Structures are given as structure tokens and as C-alpha cells.
Structure 1
Amino acid sequence: MLATIDLRSATLGPRRLREVMPRAEYDVEAALETVRPICDDVRDRGAEALYDLAERFDGVRPTHLRVPAEILALALERLDPDVRAALEVSIERARRVHADQVRTDTTTEVAPGGTVTERWVPVDRVGLYVPGGRAVYPSSVVMNVVPAQIAEVGSLAVASPPQRDNVGELAGYPHPTILAACALLGVEEVWTMGGAQAVAAFAHGVVGTDGATCEPVSLVTGPGNIYVAAAKRLLKGLIGIDSEAGPTEIAVLADASADPELVAADLVSQAEHDPLAASVLVTDDPALAEAVDAAVARRAAATKHSERVSTALTGRQSAVVLVDDLDAGLDVVNAYGAEHLEILTEDAPAVAARVRNAGAVFVGPYSPVSLGDYAAGSNHVLPTGGCACHSSGLSVQSFLRGIHVVTYDEAALTEVGPAVVTLAQAEDLPAHGEAVTARTDPGSGR
């Protein structure tokens, strides 16, 4: 079922390895032309554009753009008790992990009387996007909201698209489980808007027909489809973004000790997300590869979303990659930079310690990716498309800015002043030096 890429006996550098690894066709640049008029429409027409675009893309005209407090409370009241308990576990573990990410201010004495302090300041306001297409993602509410709250962001808002299948009091609003998760986390500002238009509304701000105002945000985070990614790219600069999230990816580095049924279950689990989802097995054991392929075919045929899973597993983005040994396998997975990387080998912790590029690493047979999706405590908003070689997943740090505060007294400035003047002259910027000598030798400039 899975295609095979045989790299045994191949000698390839990182760049060439990246080129031969399977990837989905995902052209954000092409999607820009689709989202540009949508974003312009929201900028120009505000709320009316959002109502019209929801009707066009989501098949339902929202009741209100801002979800009333009583609707959030109703959604939480009706939430299945087992789902609520599971969400509470997810929230509690995420809070524990993310609390340890809080940064503290650091002051360095560079010289007597001269200090530099790095202050960590949260962004003023964030827009947190939660998708609502093929699946419902209350877990994404948790992953976005928890680090923003721990970073002490002053103002946060969640947006998610309206669901055409909602009935009764919840008609025209986002999925009730999304709303319940927001209520459980204490989020009061939730907006009924999805896709590129939600990103545009966060960027430009909007006043609803009922007077409710979504103030512009400084930063937009959260996963979404290609049009959400394109809107982020288009509006980057006006807003900050976490990443341009692409289709989900799992890579499994496994040897002969791995259980083929576990490998197959994990490859299928991520293929369940999207027809463009990538499932990649990297192994030095051809027998394991054959057993995994057979198990994947059987599981794909039997799973609920069989058509979607089969499309993903047979797409150009999924494959078995054969390598000579685990050293070669590590070279491959480091070049690939998967969103999720599982290590199913002998002495898996030691192998995992050699991984340099991955959004998140899952070590050993009892750490499946789906654990990280929901309740490991880690964040599941992770870099995709190979971006793990330079980017990190969502964290408390994502919502903080480092500001250097420089404090020098006269003696400290006088001591270092000649170095500043010399460098200013070397760059042919004499006024820079004069700004120092005006303080340390006021008569020199007269």
C-alpha cells in the first residue's frame, strides 16, 4: 500500500535527502490569490463580509459573530461528562508542562555601573484559531489557550467556523464541544468565523452588527487549512503569526525490535486527519517494512475514515524509506524534520537524544503521537513541511517578547565610549560617536 523509497547504499547529503523524501503538494503561494480578495473584503466591509463569507463557505449564516456568554455556558452544561473529564486531564497536564516554560527576567552586569536586563513581556492581544472542517478540535482550544494564559497575555480571543449541523439554541455557532472547551478554560471572547476571513478579522478588527467589537490582535496562532496558512502569509507584518501550518506528518524510525502492528496503527492514526496527511516509516529492516505495509492495508480498510486514510497513505507524501542502518535512518529523519517523530528502536531514548529536527519526538512503544495530540502535556501545534529544522512548536515563549533594557551610568559609558566611537567611525557614522562624546566629553563637539 505504501510506496517504497530505497536509500540503501545511497550516499546523500542533507539537501538531497530533503529532495527525495515524500512531501504533499501544498502550494500556499497559489492560495494567496484566492484569499487576497477575501481578506480585502473583510477589511472593507467588516461584519457584513463575515456573515456573507460564512454563508458561502460554511453553509450557514451566523446568528451572532460573537458567541454570547449564555451560549458558552449552555455548551458546557450539555458537554458529555466523559468528554469534560478528558478535557480536564488534557488541560491540567498542559498547564503543568507549559508552566515550566515561563521565562524570568535576567540582568547582566556588563561593567561596574552598566547593566543589560532582558525583560519578557507578553503580547497585548492574540487571536487563537481553532479549525472546524473535517473534524472537531477541542484539543486545539487547549493547546492554543493554555500557553497564552500562562504567558499572561492581556487579551485573547478564539475564532472557529460556524457548523451547519448545529440545531436549536446553538444553531449558527461553532461546534458545541469547541464552545464548551472555551468555557472550561475561562475564555469569554469567542467569535463565529472561520478560514482566511477569521485571520483577516483578527488582523483588521471588526464591529459586529450587534455592536460587539473584535479589536485587532498583535498575533494569530493555531492550525488550519491552506487558506488559513495563506491568509497568515498575506497578513504577516500587520500581525505576527506562529507558523504557516501544513498537513500533518508522522515519521516513525524503527528497527527489527518494533511491533509492526503498533507502527501501522500510528501511521493510520495520522492519515485519519487529512487526505494530504503524511505517514512515513524509516527502517533498516525490510521484513518490518513488509509486515507494516500489510498491517497498514488491513487497518486502513477497517477504519472509520477508510477513504480519507487510504488516500493519504497512497499519496506522494507517504512512504516506507529503507536505509542501511540506524545512523542512516537518523540522517533521513533529521533531513525530513517531521512534525511528529516516533522512535521505536532498541534503546530508543539514546536514539531520540540524537534527533535534531522534529516538532515533537515520541520515545518508545508507549508514547504514540495520539498521546501528544491530546493528553501528554506537550503542545500539538507544531511546525510542518520540514520547518522543524528552524522552528519550534507553540509554547509560552510564542506569546512573549524579549526586551533589552540598557542602564549605564556616566563612569560605565566613559569607560566603553572609545570603543563606540571607533566602531562608529569604522562604519562612517560619526554622529553615532558624537552622541557618546557629547555625554563623556561635552566640550569636544563645540
Structure 2
Amino acid sequence: MVRNGIKIATIGGGSSYTPEFVEGLINRYKELPVRELWLVDIEEGKEKLNIVGNLAKRMVKKANLPMKVYMTLNRKEALKNADFVTTQMRVGLLQARIKDERIPLKHGMIGQETNGAGGLFKALRTIPVVLDIAEEMTELCPNAWLINFTNPAGIVTEAVMRHSSHKKVIGLCNVPINMKMTITQLLDVPTDQISITFGGLNHMSYGLDVHVNGESRMDEVIELLADSDKQLTMKNIIPLPWDKDFVKGLGLVPSPYHRYYYKTSDILKNELEEFKVGKTRAEVVKQLEDELFELYKDPNLNIKPPQLEKRGGAYYSDAACNLISSIYNDKGDIQTLNIRNKGAITSLPNDTIVEINCIVTKQGPIPLAVGELPYSINGLIQQIKSFELAAIKAAVTGSYEQALLALCINPLITSDEKAKVILDEMLEAHKTYLPQFFK
């Protein structure tokens, strides 16, 4: 670590989420003395970077902390001697997400930024960029941890692990902590008394057990989830209730994202209605972001505005800052992360990235063994892992055939003929950001 404090470089620093990250660093300053926070973006994001960066400076000034905030378009300058590098980027900006959602919906398929065709194309655009960052880290900050928040987090993290020489990489998602906080409220118990055993993949992990003070309360949680008024959901996912018999049959805690796979027709129906009136989630987010950045411009604003919660990133700051602090302080606490399996889930290959509980140390996360996944979820998880591997191969090689294979494997693409139509249209729509397919 840097002698006079920690240096963090945040790639995608002009994100609307940055104020929450800054708030998390401010709140933990005594245990996590960040002296330099470098916010990095690209030319197209320069205006937002300046707006967010100036808000970050006002927040730090209000807290009266010796933390310097830098804004730059020079990524290598920011990476040099960094201790931690975080990635929270969207290649192609929100306009690309709108295409990711609207094009599949035009063909009667679910449009979502991390699932199905939209998730594939976000991965295809993002993986080459993150691989470039990882290689620059090998040269400029070889001992730094790469903390990847960029979606689809599991796929991007696995691509770095497989195709980069920089192996100090961890994927992070706010869904597990969001689920834990919701279940804490359902059970009406203090947060520090509850633990949830997670296992699976990013946006495809399940709560395998729930303990309060060491005692399993899983049966009670299942009963609560079977109550249509008690739902695990997030801002960006339609809160459709689970069927009581289904939840009891599953016997596990599904994540909000599982609605895309178990309630596909209901989700699609809702999305198609939103699509017709120009209100897909991406378009709603764009409007929210425009409003947030107008707030951020206010020179008198020096806190994270409460309106940010509408953006859908609840507990993002806690997840990110807790992870960095636990590595820095060698805490040995348990967090749910996306890391190399190493035999923790015996039904998945050892070298794949899984989302699982880990003990977090200065040397990195150590996965906690889960063993064999229940038969009720193993098949779906295997299918999604196959999709992820094909997506990574397509992103790295620019293979049209692998991209088509990925789409056809994915359970949200229900027609191989339409898969090809969607693939061709989305390749053309995102051509600027997919040079590997147009050599």
C-alpha cells in the first residue's frame, strides 16, 4: 500500500453511482484512509465526470478529510501505483443499453441489460475494454486488486481471470447484500445476527440457507416468501409475486433476477407494454440520470442526494467499500463475491467464476465450500455457465458462431431463427463498439 494512504482509481468515474461510493469511503475513513481517489472516464463522459467529480470534492470538503479527488481522461495516469482499481463502466453509454433492451423486445424476446441478448451484448462490448485495463494494471500497478462492478459482473470477471495476466480480480454485485437486508427486515432481526449461505452465479445465485445466531430459519423465510405481500425485489425488476407452491417446492431463496427465468412470460408481457410506450427500464434510467445530474450540478449540494436510491443501486456502496476495507485490514469476515470456484461448488468446474460466500483476507477472498448444488437449480446454473463461456469466447475472438451459440444456449432466447435475426441486428447497432467482429 502507498505509505501516505491508499490510492483508488475508479474507471467510469462519471457514473451516477459515484457519490454513493464516495459516501462509503468517507464513512469508513478511519479504517480505510484513502488519500487519492482518481475518477477516470472517456471523452464522451467528460461533462458527467466533471459534474460528479466536483460533487465528490464538495462531499470530501464537508467531511473535512485529507482525501484528494482527481478527475482525468488519462487512464494510465490514474492506474500508476494504485492500490485498488474499481470498474463501473458502460461501454456505449446508456444509449447502448436502450438498444440492448429495445431490439430483443422488437422480436418478442426479453430485453434486459444483464440477461438474455442484452446481457450478451453488454459483455461483448465490455470484455475487451476491461482486458485492456487489466493488462495496463500488470504494468502500472501489478499488486493492485481489480474490483469489478461492471455488469454482467460474473462474465466480465471470468474473462479477466481466463484471458489476462492480472489475476487479482474480484467481481462484485449488490444483489446478495440487497437480499440479506430484505430478509433481515422480513425476520425483524438485527443485521449482524443474520447470515445467508449463497451459491451459484452472478444474477443466478440462490440463498441455500439462512441462519440467525447460528440457528437455521430457512423454513420461516420460505413461508414469508410464499406470502404475496413479502417480496424480494429491486428497483429495476418488476416485483411479481412468487407462486406459493413453487417457492415451497424450490426450498431455496431465489434472487430477484430469477423472475426472468421462472416467470418469463409475465416479465415479457410487462416489458412489451413498456416497450410500446417508450418506457423500457433503460429509458426510465436515462430520465433518472438526467434528473440526478441536474441535482449534482448544484454547487450547494455536498451530500449524496436521496433520489439516487431510485437508480437501483441500493447497498452498492456498502458492498464495494466493505470489500476494499476487508482486504486492506485483513478482516477475515464473510462476504458474497464472484471469484474462482476452486472446488467450492463441486458441480461446477474449478476454474470458473462463481458467486459464493468467501472469507476476505489481505491475500484475497477464500471461497467457502458449498458442495453439490441441489438438483432443483443445478441444471439452470449449468446452462447459464455454458452461455457465459460461449459469450466470453465470442467477445475475445470476435466469433459470430460463438455469439450465435451463446444466444441459442440462453433460456431467454426461445427461437434459434430469431436468435440469428437479433444477433445480426444488434451487431450492426453496436458496430462502433464491436471491432473484433468487423475485422
Normalised to the residue count of structure 1, the TM-score between the two structures is 0.29
Which has the larger share of helix?
2
- Structure with the greater relative contact order (CA < 8 A, sep ≥ 6): 1 or 2? 1
